[in-house]
Amino acid sequence: MDTTLQDPLVGQLLDGRYRVDARIAVGGMATVYRAVDTRLDRVLALKVMHPALATDATFVERFIREAKSVARLAHPNVVAVFDQGAQGQYVYLAMEYVAGCTLRDVLRDRGALQPRAALDILEPVLAALGAAHRAGFVHRDMKPENVLIGDDGRVKVADFGLVRAVGSVTSTTGSVLGTVSYLAPEQIEHGTADTRTDVYACGVVLYEMLTGAKPHTGDTPAQVIYQHLNEDVPAPSALVPDLPVALDGLVASATARNPEVRPFDAVALLAEAREARSELTESQLDALPPQARAEEHDATEDRTSVIPRLLPADQGVAHHTSRLETPPQEPAGPGPRASRLRMPRRSVMAAVVAVLLVLGIGTGVWYINSGQFTRVPSLLGQTEKDARQRLSDAGLDVKGVDRSYSDTVTRGTVISSDPDSGARIRRNDGVRLVVSRGPEIVRVPDVGGLSLADARHELEKAGLVPGMVTKDFDEETPRGDVIGTDPEAGTERHPDSAVALVVSRGAPVDVPGVTGLSVADATAALDEAGLKLKVLPDRINSPEVAGDIAHQSPAEGARAGEGDTITLTVSKGPRMVDVPDVTGKDVDAATAELEDAGFEVEVKRPFLSFSDTIASQSVGGGKQAPEGSTITIRTKGL
């Protein structure tokens, strides 16, 4: 019997509102779930801090800061944060759910991108960061994992968990939080982070999109750090021949080691990106890159980590136990790049040893690859949830999930994996799963007469997706139950196709007219018709007597379903209006003036009188009368 522990949050209702349906991803500080907001009936993503960190005030403060910061941005290319809260050991953010993949998934599957595709992704990323920069925030952890690409093609920036106000952090006491492959030199050397550090990271991401590889690599994070400090990011055309010079210049500008010569913020880099695009021909934009797939890389370099900052040469490290010695940094600036320094093998080893010593005794935790290996656990035939748990228990990540049709493997269970079960794999690496979608063709089940919840369950069990819900009158089907589906039951469809549901409103009811009735009489009339009522708290002026019904919605004669609610508004009596003085005026002018003031007009003429001049009016000029009441005017007699 499988005793694998399941995620305790899946299937639970968090904070009395969010139903957790599935786990999407696991990071170093939080787990992301797909959930449903039961109050607003919408799908969203829940980012839940690991319970072990929820007692750390620093991490909780960072979580709350992320919610407040992103809520202030309200930008179409930023993943929105809807809510923040806590329940027991769970501290969470409720965020926009983006169905799609990350830029890392795209680079892993496709390798280098065409220049047009790379710019199409870069520009909305810069637009999002530009909004953050102009609002006074720095992201500090830009990387392909934090760029989401929706199924509809929209690009959004996620994970503002390391966001800081511009200028709020100028130095640190020995560590910096970030991802080693995308850290700017000044972050590593001085602990500074401003808008230009995000610009540097975007330049590295652009290089990766154009080449399918990272500009700086090494067997250890220490070697990558050394290259950030001492080597320029190479021109993308060095790895992908025939790339236009404009793209080389764009990467060089963004990744200048001297922050003073980089674009000031993402808005400035966006302008340069658009200028570079304008210099390219259509054939250059659509040129296919030569390599078929991205180079393999150590996934540990893509994790957000606490990284010891290199201290100045006159400060000891670990009580002078070791010191990271680096050659003087070559100046960076516009124009041709200076020749790159090459680190002697002995210096490389010394740097690695020094950084590893700092890792052992410095502040924070830096998770690096220990070089140990493990075996991929048995996954075939397991449900996707159980397979994920087995991989998690083995210390392995899920790189992604592909879905494939199968006539023999049950829907939702694992067909195969890459690497295969039993394969030797580096610890903390990832495994890609192939999960069965079931048979290629399924039949729409007959769900007529079921409750909406049961009908949705039957569709999901058949491998279909419950789609849009509409309501219609039906005298035979009880209110709230399903009348039928579109397409109809028995229709053949591919798995995961959407099926619309039609739900009964019950037998149709003609809405009675209750305007002018008292609230008690209106209630009785609606009850007799099988309808409910809601009386609005605010009253309005109307011709109806104060306390009677002034307005109803839907109106008299409309069709409603049995049990529907009719909204009623109560009258506070007619509005009193000033009566104009029309004596001495002719009939037409007097009538028009009184009607414009909101009154009905009755004209009376004495016997055998042919005068049109008004001699008197029933309510004198300057007095008040109920709006809509009748004013009688009399003409002069003989």
Mean of pLDDT values over 70-90: 84
Considering the domain boundaries, does residue 612 fall inside one?
yes
CATH of the domain at 534: 3.30.10.20
Cα Rg for the chain, rounded, in angstroms? 35
Classify each residue of 472-496 as buried b or exposed e, where b means 16 or more C-beta atoms within 10 Å of its C-beta: ebbeebebebbbbbeeeeeeebebe
Domain that residue 386 falls in: 376-440
Task: Mean pLDDT check: name the lowest of 243-247, 374-378, 568-572.
Answer: 374-378
Q: What is the pLDDT of residue 301?
A: 52
- Mean pLDDT highest for which of 71-80, 232-241, 377-386? 232-241
Both tokens assigned to 506: 């019950």
Each residue of 273-294: pLDDT tens digit?
Answer: 999 999 999 999 998 887 544 4
Q: Are residues 128 and 255 in the same domain?
A: yes
Is the confidence at residue 436, as pLDDT, over 90?
no
| CA–CA dist 616, 99 (Å, integer) | 76
- Mean pLDDT highest for which of 151-165, 365-379, 422-436? 422-436
Mean of pLDDT values over 557-573: 91
Q: What is the pLDDT of residue 607?
A: 79
Considering the domain boundaries, does residue 274 fall inside one?
yes
Angle at 634 between CA 628 and CA 638, to 5 degrees: 170
Q: Read off the pLDDT band of 77 (50, 70, 90).
A: very high
Is the confidence at residue 364, as pLDDT, over 60?
no
| CA–CA dist 385, 387 (Å, integer) | 5
Mean of pLDDT values over 407-421: 84
- 3-state DSSP of 33-60: EEEEECCCCEEEEEEEECHHHCCCHHHH
Nearest to 443 by CA among 497, 496, 491: 491
Q: Are residues 131 and 226 in the same domain?
A: yes
Q: Are residues 396 and 515 in the same domain?
A: no
315 against 433, higher pLDDT: 433
Q: Read off the pLDDT band of 631 (50, 70, 90).
A: very high
Is the confidence at residue 132, as pLDDT, over 80?
yes
Task: Mean pLDDT check: name the lowest of 102-116, 307-321, 362-376, 451-465.
Answer: 307-321
Peptide bond just before 487 cis, omega within 30 deg: yes
Residues 6+ apart with CB under 8 A from 146: 102, 139, 157, 158, 159
| CA–CA dist 231, 329 (Å, integer) | 9
Q: Are residues 82 and 160 in the same domain?
A: no
Of the three residues 504, 519, 537, the one that is the final residue of a domain is 504
Q: Are residues 81 and 229 in the same domain?
A: no
The percent of residues above 90 in pLDDT, for the chain, comes to 43
Q: Are residues 342 and 473 in the same domain?
A: no
Is the confidence at residue 360, as pLDDT, over 60?
no
The CB-side HSE value for 460 (13 A sphere, CA atoms) comes to 8
Q: What is the pLDDT of residue 527?
A: 93
Task: Mean pLDDT check: name the lowest of 59-63, 71-75, 245-249.
Answer: 59-63
Considering the domain boundaries, does residue 144 fall inside one?
yes
Considering the domain boundaries, does residue 370 fall inside one?
no
Q: Are residues 447 and 429 in the same domain?
A: no
Is the confidence at residue 267, as pLDDT, over 90?
yes
Q: Are residues 173 and 262 in the same domain?
A: yes
Angle at 244 between CA 238 and CA 248, to 5 degrees: 55
Considering the domain boundaries, does residue 197 fall inside one?
yes
| CA–CA dist 464, 487 (Å, integer) | 12
Beta bridge pairs of residue 436? 404
Each residue of 514-528: pLDDT tens digit?
Answer: 999 999 999 999 999
Q: Read off the pLDDT band of 212 (50, 70, 90).
A: very high
496 is catalytic: no
The answer to whether 343 and 350 are in contact (CB under 8 A) is no
Considering the domain boundaries, does residue 427 fall inside one?
yes
Nearest to 267 by CA among 126, 142, 75, 158: 126
Each residue of 373-396: pLDDT tens digit?
Answer: 788 888 888 899 999 999 988 888
Among 83, 105, 141, 474, the active-site one is 141
Q: What is the pLDDT of residue 526?
A: 94
Q: What is the pLDDT of residue 355?
A: 39
Each residue of 583-621: pLDDT tens digit?
Answer: 999 999 999 999 999 999 999 988 777 788 999 999 999
| CA–CA dist 133, 469 (Å, integer) | 42
Mean of pLDDT values over 32-50: 91
Is the confidence at residue 66, as pLDDT, over 90?
no
pTM for the whole structure: 0.49
Q: Are residues 105 and 140 in the same domain?
A: yes
Q: Count CB neighbours of 461 within 10 A.
A: 10
Return the axis-axis angle of helices 115-134 and 57-73, rounded to nearest 10°: 100
Of the three residues 58, 77, 97, the one that is the final residue of a domain is 97
DSSP for 251-298, please give it: HHHHT-SSGGGS-SSHHHHHHHHHHHHHTS-HHHHTPPPS-SSPPP--
Number of folded domains in the chain?
A: 6
Q: What is the pLDDT of residue 394?
A: 85
Q: Are residues 33 and 151 in the same domain?
A: no
Q: Are residues 456 and 395 in the same domain?
A: no
47 against 304, higher pLDDT: 47
Q: Are residues 284 and 403 in the same domain?
A: no
Q: What is the pLDDT of residue 303?
A: 53
The mean predicted confidence, pLDDT, of the chain is 81
Each residue of 168-209: pLDDT tens digit?
Answer: 443 344 444 567 889 999 888 887 888 999 999 999 999 999
Considering the domain boundaries, does residue 366 fall inside one?
no
Q: What is the pLDDT of residue 61?
A: 76
Considering the domain boundaries, does residue 405 fall inside one?
yes
Q: What is the pLDDT of residue 335?
A: 37
Q: Read off the pLDDT band of 568 (50, 70, 90).
A: very high
Both tokens assigned to 602: 């009755």
CATH of the domain at 37: 3.30.200.20
DSSP state of 586: B
